[in-house]
């Protein structure tokens, strides 16, 4: 997985897509996932990190991760 090269993200969770001009405000979980994608972690590694960091059950974590990754794809912010 790789983020769109035109996506800029601040430490506070403000995201800006330079190709479209769209901006987004990311919550703590989304910012965490983005940081793991930037670190080149696999989906499985990100899932494990989510479970540990947020003390969430694996089923909920996987569903939330898949939903967020699909949102990134919908906005052309994630390249597989």
The domains of the chain are located at 2-79
The reply to whether the predicted model has a pTM over 0.85 is: yes
pLDDT band with cut points at 50, 70 and 90 for residue 48: very high
Look-up of token digits 């979980």: 29
pLDDT band with cut points at 50, 70 and 90 for residue 22: very high
> Sign of dihedral through CA atoms 72, 37, 11, 66?
positive
Residue 80 has pLDDT above 90, yes or no: no
Q: What is the pLDDT of residue 11?
A: 86
Q: What is the pLDDT of residue 79?
A: 87
CATH number assigned to the domain with residue range 2-79, chosen from the 4 options 2.60.40.10, 3.30.420.40, 1.10.10.1150, 1.10.3470.10: 1.10.10.1150
Q: Phi and psi for 38 in degrees, rounded to 5?
A: -60, -30
Distance in angstroms (rounded) separating the CA atoms of residues 23 and 45: 27
Q: What is the pLDDT of residue 33?
A: 97
Token reading at 33: 């996932």
């Amino acid at each position: 997985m790789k983020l769109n090269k035109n996506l800029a993200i601040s430490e506070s969770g403000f995201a800006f897509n330079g190709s479209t001009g769209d901006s987004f405000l990311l919550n703590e979980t989304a910012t965490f996932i983005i940081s793991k994608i930037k670190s080149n972690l696999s989906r499985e590694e990100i899932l494990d990190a989510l479970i540990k960091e947020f003390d969430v059950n694996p089923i909920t974590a996987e569903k939330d991760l898949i939903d967020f990754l699909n949102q990134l794809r919908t906005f052309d912010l994630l390249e597989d």
